[in-house]
Amino acid sequence: MAEVGLNHFLIVAAILFSLGLFAVITRKNAIMVLMGVELILNAANINFVAFSRYGNNGLNGQAAALFVIVLAAAEAAVALAIVLNIYKLLTNVNVDEIDKLKE
């Protein structure tokens, strides 16, 4: 329980990244894969903000974190639209069963 510094934030981000990757690898449901991607993006964001706080780069890290949040929102919207379309065509969203290019 040492004094909380840069390492502690980076380790939390590393754990979050690993858990997100675990969800992406193991889950069948496409929505769960998307949740894993969100966890990974959050982990990257913690790193950006932590280096912005402890590094000597001014607010560049926070600006990058803001851009990541915006991209995550756009990604979630488009990905969910695609998932809804897949559900309409194939009536399931399991990523291991979706192997058709057309009906």
Partner 1 sequence: MSLFSIFFYLFALITVVSALFVVSVKNVVHSAFYLLFTFFGVAGLYVLLGADFIAVTQIMVYIGGILILLLFGVMLTNKITNIEIKSGTVNIFPAIVLVGVLMGALVSVITRTNWKVVQKVIPNTTINSLGKVLITDYVLIFELLAILLLVALIGATSIARTNNTNKEEV
- Sites for partner 1 among residues 8-47 (CB under 8 A): 8-12, 14-23, 25-32, 34-36, 38-39, 42, 45-46
Check residue 100 for interaction with partner 1 (CB under 8 A): no
Residue 54: Cβ within 10 Å count? 14
CB atoms < 10 A from the CB of 23, how many? 19
DSSP assignment of 67-79, as one string? Answer: HHHHHHHHHHHHH
Q: What is the DSSP letter of 30?
A: H
Q: Does 89 bind partner 1 (CB under 8 A)?
A: no
- Out of 89, 94, 98, 102, point to the residue binding partner 1 (CB under 8 A): 94
Tell me the C-alpha distance between 67 and 65, whole Å.
5
Of 63, 98, 100, 103, which one interacts with partner 1 (CB under 8 A)? 63
Among positions 52, 89, 98, 100, the unique one binding partner 1 when judged by CB under 8 A: 52
